[in-house]
Amino acid sequence: MEASKFLFLDGKTSRTGKPLISPDNRSFRYGDGFFETIKYADGKILLAELHFERLFASLNRLAFQAPEYFTKSYLENQIHALVKRNGHDRSARIRVTIFRGEGNIYDEINHFPHHLIQSWELNPSNITFNDSGLILDIYPDARKVCDGLSHIKSNNYLNYAMAAIWAKKNKLDDAFLFNPYDRLADATIANVFIVKNGIIKTPAITEGPVQGVMRRHLLQNLRAESIPVEETGISLEDLEEASEIFLTNAVYGIRWVKKFRKSTYSHQISEQIYNKIICPNA
């Protein structure tokens, strides 16, 4: 895979590998900011409307003050230019990171949205359905809170980072994170859907998951197809009794979960959804 040679930071493109931020940067110190992960294919930003809608909603929710030029068109133009310069036009993963500048927690600060755009060539395994299936368990050492910020893809990613380390140590493919009420929130880099009694279910936003773009895209399309779907609370028993479990995010679409503890799952419905909604022209 071709490595990234260039990145875009606050209006300037530069080579990767150079120091970018001060030790006093608030994102480094406090996780003060958020990010957006986007799939790029054949010259197009996929699900662009949903991504930029979420980005600007997060910008407002976190009290950033954007200048007039900081628009959807501005960001799209920079993404296209960076992907082309890195030679990732065919298929890429894009990360847009928004963060505040320097300062201590109670300092008078500038709320300008510093912005970093990066691109990486996308592995071909991220654009096919995973026939082998994933193995997951519940991360035991942290709970995902349910509040007015829990749905944002915050730069404070410690719970997920530690869950990913734990999963790798335990030879798992990913880990579920539960909320303080012993119900499912999401996984380390994905939203979670289950199929139980013929109904597709996913944790409601009030349960603490990130408000994923692929999650929203899937819900819209399932409802348009009159397929039974619910945003609700999901317990440990629901996971164990489900007939299918699958993970979703904007880069790989859907990944089927084969095993959770003593339970095993099929992938008939999840693969049908992948072929019909996620990647209909594959």
Q: What are 12-44's pLDDT values in tens digits?
A: 999 998 888 889 999 999 999 999 999 999 999
Q: What are phi and psi of 264, to 5 degrees?
A: -120, 155
- Examine the pLDDT at 119 and tell me if it is beyond 50: yes
DSSP 25: B
Domain check: are 116 and 150 in the same one?
no
Decide if 1 is inside a domain.
Answer: no
Q: At what angle do helices 213-224 and 48-61 cross, to 10 degrees?
A: 130
Domain containing residue 215: CATH number:
3.20.10.10
Which of 85, 101, 122 marks a domain boundary? 122
Beta carbons of 199 and 227 less than 8 angstroms apart: no
Q: What is the pTM of this model?
A: 0.94
Domain check: are 27 and 56 in the same one?
yes
Q: Supply the range of the domain harboring residue 197.
A: 134-278
Tell me what the mean pLDDT of segment 191-211 comes to.
98
Split into its structural domains, the chain has a count of 2
- Examine the pLDDT at 168 and tell me if it is beyond 70: yes
143 phi-psi bin (left φ>0, alpha ψ -120 to 50, beta other) = beta
Domain check: are 175 and 118 in the same one?
no
Q: What would the two tokens of residue 249 be?
A: 């995010």
Which helix (H) or strand (E) segment holds residue 169: the answer is helix 158-169
Q: What would the two tokens of residue 30 be?
A: 């406090």
Residue with tokens 């880069």: 251
Decide if 127 is inside a domain.
Answer: no
Kind of pairing between the strands at 114-121 and 134-138: unpaired
Domain check: are 150 and 182 in the same one?
yes
Q: What would the two tokens of residue 250 be?
A: 């904007």
Q: pLDDT band at 125, cuts 50/70/90? A: low
Domain containing residue 92: CATH number:
3.30.470.10
Q: pLDDT band at 3, cuts 50/70/90? A: low
